[in-house]
Chain A
Amino acid sequence: MSIATVFEIVLAAVVLGLGIWTIVVRETFSATVGFVAYGLLVALIWVRLDAVDVALTEAAIGGGLGGVLLLGAAARLRDADVMAAETPGKVVRASAAALSVLTTAALAGAVLLLPDPAPTLAPAAVANAWATGLSNSVTNVLMAFRAMDTMLEKVVLLLAIIGVWSLAPDSAWGGRPGPRHQADPDGVLAFLARLLPPVGIVVGIYILWTGADHPGGAFQGGAILASMWLLTIIAGLADTPPVSRRWLRFILVAGPCLFLVVGLVGLLFGAAFLSYPPALAKPLILGIEVAMILTIAATLGLLLAGAPERSAKP
Chain B
Amino acid sequence: MSLVRDMITIAAVSAGAFFFLAGTVGLLRFPDTLTRLHALTKADNLGLGLVVLGLLPQAGGLRDGLKLVSIWLLGLLAGATVSQLIARAARHGESTR
Contact = CB atoms under 8 A, between A and B. Distances in A.
A and B touch in the complex (CB under 8 A): yes
Interface of A: 188-189, 191-192, 195-196, 199
Contacts of A199: 74
B81 interface: yes
12 contacts: A188-B81, A188-B84, A188-B85, A189-B81, A189-B85, A191-B81, A192-B77, A192-B78, A192-B81, A195-B77, A196-B77, A199-B74
Interface string B60-88: 00000000000000100110010011000
Nearest to A192: B81
A189 B77 CA distance: 11
Given A188-B81, A192-B77, 10 more contacts: A188-B84, A188-B85, A189-B81, A189-B85, A191-B81, A192-B78, A192-B81, A195-B77, A196-B77, A199-B74
A196 B79 CA distance: 13
Contacts of A189: 81, 85
Nearest to A188: B84
Interface of B: 74, 77-78, 81, 84-85
Nearest to B73: A199
A192 B79 CA distance: 11
B43 to A, nearest CB: 14
Contacts of B84: 188
A207 to B, nearest CB: 12
A191 B78 CA distance: 11
A191 B85 CA distance: 12
B40 to A, nearest CB: 14
A196 B82 CA distance: 13
Among A191, A192, A196, A199, chain B packs the most CB atoms within 10 A around the CB of A192
Contacts of A192: 77-78, 81
A199 B77 CA distance: 12
Contacts of B78: 192
Contacts of B77: 192, 195-196
A216 to B, nearest CB: 13
Contacts of A195: 77
B9 to A, nearest CB: 16
Nearest to B81: A192
Contacts of A196: 77
Contacts of B85: 188-189
Nearest first, the 8 closest Cβ-Cβ pairs linking A and B are A188-B84, A192-B81, A188-B81, A189-B85, A188-B85, A196-B77, A195-B77, A189-B81
Among B78, B81, B85, chain A packs the most CB atoms within 10 A around the CB of B81
Nearest to A200: B74
A192 B78 CA distance: 8
Contacts of B74: 199
A192 B82 CA distance: 10
A189 B83 CA distance: 11
A284 B77 CA distance: 38
A137 to B, nearest CB: 21
A201 to B, nearest CB: 14
A189 B82 CA distance: 8
